[in-house]
Structure 1
Amino acid sequence: MSEERQTERLGDICYIKARIGWRGLSSSEYTEDGPYLIAGQHIRGGQITWDKCDHITEQRYLESHEIILRDGDVIITKDGTIGRVARIDDLPGDATINGTMMLVRPLRRLDYRYLYHILNGRGFQKLIDDKVSGSSIPHLFQRDMVELKVELPSPDHQSKIAEILDTLDAAIRGTEAVVAKLKAMNQGLLHDLLTRGIDANGDLRPPHPEAPHLYKQTPLGWLPKEWDARLLDEVAIRGSGHTPSKSIASYWNGGIKWVSLADSHRLDQVFIRETDKEISEAGLANSSAVRHPENTVILSRDAGIGKSAILASEMAVSQHFMAWRCGSKLNHVFLYYLLQREKPRFEAIAMGSTIKTIGLSFFKKYMIALPPKDEQDRSAEILLEIESDIVRHEQELQKLRATKSGLMDDLLTGRTPVTALL
């Protein structure tokens, strides 16, 4: 049974103001401290990143008293990336908004936290999407907000709905922070394990400046004495692929997974398990495509340059990919992470070319830092463990977002009475 709700025009229950702008204000007037000046770029996940905000003088701040912020205000971007919403829970000091923002201040019968969720809801965001798709220069007008119709449950129910959605938001932000921390750890370990590695005791070696006696000079720079600088072709068998004729239907949909540029979104996730397209035995026989065995490491050398993956099963690839079958001296997971770390280099090489691709001549001369196999195995195990943690928390984050999205829509429209969740 739905809750009793009343439809109100937002302009009848809120104070709505947008800045027309300070005359002549320029970034050269920004100060080191003083009142905060908030722009859309300072909003992240519904919160204001106060440490990133600009500051202005007290005089400039007082010029527009009508948009001086208070606790309990809601602000929204009206220009640029329109529809980005934040709320003011606890002002750290005097603050105002710049010319790209709009202030919405509830006056009666409207909990500001509930308003915040309304403006992040599906109904209002559809209005934003329509404006973006319908204009070359999207803009949210003050009258759009004034005329916006909102359905209001009782103030008590608004508060309960806001509390439920706030709890989910807090869980989402917490999980996002864990994912960010794990990714930062992964990047740090990736650098350390691929440049100084693990000693016989399982500890990271000290860096070269701290222990130069543990390192030697090589064509790749300073490497641990136990490591070698080797051509990749010396420790792995290099291959590529091909595209069967698309005009012959019998060459396609034959059950052989075939990695193409359409699978770019599946790369950089360690293993690739599915492909957008499949080819047939006939397609394989009548082209230069070949089957590559499980654990072959592939790298995109054209569009999506530098993206890589490990084949989770036997697959073929298009001509846009390099493929390496590792020999006994090279761990395939270790090679994958080596290529991941080299991605900026691959991208830079392609950027310097007229045709955005990396030629075969580069890979024939491509050298890698090669630790002893047992050290590679330990490093690969460590990196996979962190990757697994990242994936697990990202899946948890995805579930939390899906839960919030569904519950938010139901609560804000009244399909699910808040009393049913209490």
Structure 2
Amino acid sequence: MSEYGYVPRPLRTAVADHVGGGTPPRQVLSYWKGNIPWASVKDFSEQVGAITDTQERISEAGLNASASNLIPAGTPLICTRMAVGRAAMPSVAMAINQDVKALFPAAGVSPAYLLKLLQFTQPRAEAQAVGSTVKGIRIQDYLDIAVPIADTNAQPVIATVLDTLDTAIHETEAIIAKLKAVKQGLLHDLLTRGIDANGELRPPQAEAPHLYKESTLGWIPKEWDFVRLDDVALRGSGHTPSKSVPSYWNGGIKWVSLADSHRLDNIFISETDKEISALGIANSSAVLHSAGTVILSRDAGVGKSAVLACEMAVSQHFMAWQCRDRLNNLFLYFHLQREKPKFEAIALGSTIKTIGLPYFKSYEIAVPPRAEQDQAVAALMAVEEDSTEHLLGVAKLRNLKAGLMDDLLTGRVRVTPLLEGDTP
């Protein structure tokens, strides 16, 4: 720590008292589903410093029949078992279980500041946790952790600065959640009702049956065709070159495998975990797929899809479609995204679930006129781009908070200018 930092002291010097909790007997039904929120580790979400409600509730009788305690709102809570060191502030009075402790601030210590200090201390608490199956830390050991403690007058300012960032993060996350819901609704409407000649969503079939026709997939707009995917896209797959031949690998050709599952479902895939060589392609059934090819995982991670951002090969665990003129490749991607639950449901296998290749030979799809597809894709991409922008924004805010947390709580950056009313 810099010479200008706050002097480290045991965390206990900022805590006047602490209490734990307990669990009412589960077999006594009258102890549960009451009116008292009951906090356990599962109520402590990562990077969320507030608890407004709990997954379970207990009754007054359950509270009295257990070691649980009712903790006042605004009292910092920490987990001492499992999610060790995770901290949050209850917005209402709530009971706690045995894996949670309530810390009451010492005189002159702001509760909001203490919460930030606890969050700052979490990595060290996790490092000190012990246990072979479930890790935990004794409250005495937790309180012995040395932390930099700011002056009393600086504490509320530090907490306010960090709370402001938390508010911005939570508001941005709320926007992201709303955009996700909008996307799901739009995806359903565009792929079942579509867009009419006026650029508006068609009314549902129940309201305008004359605009629809029956198909094996259900009711679809009369202007749409119902065809095998093979009729509008060139189907392919891939292979794995022999891993015992080093020259088949690391040759600069991106190769999508199950190791890239985390990169799917984000529209485009531009990077892969592994690469193969031209020699590997020449000596296997792997093929080079052009940019814009739509791929789908038919094994582990069944139903995940993406569009190739550049030329790539894929393993045998993937289907690949190069769309012809009648089918917009992004329209196909969004269609596969909507079909994901269906793919997951039909996959078979006791260890690794998979969908057999024959299934895709007869796979059918409803195809709107190309101009309508393009309009649908434009609408969905606008929502995706908006979501991406907000996701990048929340990532920047989290990085800013992490940096400020370290600077302000250690005292590396002082809040004296703010206290004096000067511009920092």
- Shared fold by TM > 0.5? yes
8 Å contact from structure 2 (residues 290, 308) kept in 1: yes
Q: Residue in 1 aligned with 2:69?
A: 67
Q: Distance in 2 between matches of 1:24 and 1:261?
A: 42
Distance 1:31 1:237, change over 3 A: closer
Q: Which residue, 391, 396, 414 being the options, matches 2:388? A: 391
Displacement of 1:208: 1.6
1:289 corresponds to 2:291: no
Q: Is the 8 A contact 1:72 1:105 kept in 2?
A: no
Q: Distance in 1 between matches of 2:281 and 2:8?
A: 65
CA change 1:171–1:26 in 2 (3 A) is farther
1:74, distance to aligned residue in structure 2 (A): 0.7
- CA gap of 1:218–1:77, structure 2 versus 1, over 3 A, is same
Determine which of 252, 261, 264 is the counterpart of 1:255.
Answer: 252
Please, which moves more after superposition, 289-298 or 150-159? 150-159
The DSSP-based 3-state class of the residue aligned with 1:155 is coil
1:177 and 1:235, CA in 2 relative to 1: closer, same or farther beyond 3 A? Answer: same
Partner Cα distance (1:66, 1:239) in 2: 60
> Which has the larger displacement, 402-411 or 353-362?
353-362
Query: Aligned partners of 2:30 and 2:225: how far apart in 1?
Result: 53
Q: Which residue pairs with 2:222 in the alignment? A: 225
Distance 1:20 1:379, change over 3 A: closer
Structure-2 residue corresponding to 1:36: 37
The residue type equivalent to 2:215 in the other structure is T
Partner of 1:403: 400
- Check if 1:332 corresponds to 2:329: yes
> Does the Cα contact within 8 Å between 1:165 and 1:404 map onto a contact in 2?
yes
Given candidates 187, 190, 208, the residue that maps to 1:193 is 190
Distance change in 2, residues 1:359/1:21 (3 Å): closer
CA deviation after TM superposition for structure 1 residue 409, in Å: 1.8
- Does the aligned pair in 1 maintain the 2:68–2:96 contact within 8 Å? no
- Give the Cα separation in 2 of the matches to 1:117 and 1:25: 38
CA RMSD of aligned residues (A): 2.5
Structure 2 spans left out of the alignment, 5+ residues:
419-423
Pairs aligned (count): 415
* Residue matched to 1:128: 126
Gap regions ≥5 residues in structure 1: none
Does the residue aligned with 1:36 lie in a helix, a strand or coil? strand
Whole-angstrom distance in 1 between the partners of 2:300 and 2:128:
31
After superposition, the C-alpha distances for 1:281-340 in whole angstroms (9 at most, x for unaligned) are 222222211111111101111122111111111221111111001111111000000101
Q: 1:27 to 1:254 in 2, by over 3 A?
A: same
- 2:85, 2:125 within 8 Å by CA — same for their partners in 1? no
Q: Give SS of 1:342's match.
A: helix
SS in 1 for 2:154: helix
Q: In structure 2, give the amino acid aligned to 1:103.
A: A
Residue 169 (1) aligns with residue 128 (2): no
Distance 1:195 1:26 in 2: 49
Q: Look up the SS of the partner of 2:279 in the other structure.
A: helix
Q: Does 1:56 align with 2:54?
A: no
Please say if residues 37 and 54 of structure 2, whose CA atoms lie closer than 8 Å, have aligned partners that are also in contact: no
The letter for the 1-side match of 2:177 is: A
- Verify the 8 A CA contact 1:334 1:379 in the aligned structure 2: yes
| Cα 1:193–1:363 shift into 2, 3 Å | same
Matches of 2:187 and 2:22, distance apart in 1: 49
Q: Normalization by structure 1: what TM-score? A: 0.90
Q: Distance in 2 between matches of 1:340 and 1:387?
A: 13
2:421 corresponding residue in structure 1: none
Matched to 2:4, the amino acid is: S
CA offset digits 1:30-72 (Å, max 9, x no partner): 3453x43333333441211327552422x55467899332243
Aligned to 1:87: 89
Q: Deviations over 1:91-116 (max 9, x none)?
A: 3xx53223332111112232111111
CA separation in 2, counterparts of 1:352 and 1:215? 38
Asked if the contact 1:245–1:251 (Cα under 8 Å) also holds between the matched residues in 2, the reply is yes
TM value normalised by structure 2: 0.90
Return the alpha-carbon distance in structure 2 between the equivalents of residues 21 and 286 of structure 1: 62
In the TM superposition, what is the alpha-carbon distance from 1:157 to its structure 2 partner?
Answer: 1.5
Look up the match of 1:99. Answer: 98
Query: Which whole-Å CA distance do the structure 2 matches of 1:351 and 1:176 have between them?
Result: 36
Task: In structure 2, give the amino acid aligned to 1:312.
Answer: A
Indicate conservation of the 8 Å contact 2:68/2:97, yes or no: no
Q: What secondary structure sits across from 2:71 in the alignment?
A: coil
Could you say what secondary structure the match of 1:76 adopts? Answer: strand
CA distance in 1, matches of 2:141, 2:359: 56
Are positions 1:272 and 2:251 aligned together? no
Structure 1 residues 277 and 51: CA distance shift in structure 2, 3 A: closer
Whether the 8 Å contact between 2:256 and 2:314 is mirrored in structure 1 is yes
Aligned equivalents of 2:347, 2:52: Cα separation in 1: 36
Aligned residue identity for 1:83: G
SS at match of 1:156: coil
Q: 1:208 pairs with 205, 210, 216, which one?
A: 205
Partner of 2:200, secondary structure, is coil
| Cα shift at 1:407 | 1.8
**Deviation of residue 402 (structure 1)?**
1.1
- Any idea what the Cα deviations from partners look like across 1:206-225, whole Å, max 9, x if unmatched? 11222222111111111111
Q: Which amino acid aligns with 1:19?
A: G
Shift of 1:355: 4.7
Residue 200 of structure 1 aligns to a residue whose secondary structure is coil
SS at the partner of 1:120? helix
Structure 1 pair 337–129 and aligned structure 2 pair: CA distance change class (3 A): farther
